[in-house]
Amino acid sequence: MPRAKGGIVTHRRHKKILRRARGYFQARRSMFGPANAQVLKSLNYAFFHRRQRKRVFRQLWIARINAAARSNGMTYNRLIEGLHKAGITVNRKILAELAVQDTAAFAALVDKAKASLQA
């Protein structure tokens, strides 16, 4: 009985990896070994960066809110505390968008935060 080497299965597996490796440089796109290593590394990077992106965007929003709050005579920390005491629940993404695009609305929120801190 002849030995079965699983050529079809191996060929399909290799094709799947090489399809994912399109766009890579030199041997990483054409040879299975380097392509497989790079595809695994790329998937690992993608997994890590999907989580890191959430942290990076939160940092960006906080920096924008802080800059806008300081231009209105308040710090980020005091603004968040004042909004919390006033019972205003606006997430940081929306606050950052208001700070950039609608400065009048952001200034009104800052005034409410100031009032709730003084009361």
pLDDT digits over 24-56, tens only?
999 999 999 999 999 999 999 999 999 999 999
Mean pLDDT for 63-72 is 96
Enumerate the domain spans of the chain.
7-118
- Residue 112 is predicted with a pLDDT of 95
> pTM for this structure?
0.78
pLDDT at 7: 85
* Residues 61/95, Cβ–Cβ less than 8 Å: yes
Reported as a pLDDT band with limits 50, 70 and 90, residue 2 is confident
* 67-72 mean pLDDT: 95
At 2 the three-state DSSP class reads coil
Task: At 100, list the tokens.
Answer: 């950039």
The CATH T-level fold of domain 7-118 is c-terminal domain of poly(a) binding protein (1.10.1900)
- Residue 79 exposed, middle or buried by CB count within 10 Å (0-12, 13-18, 19+): buried
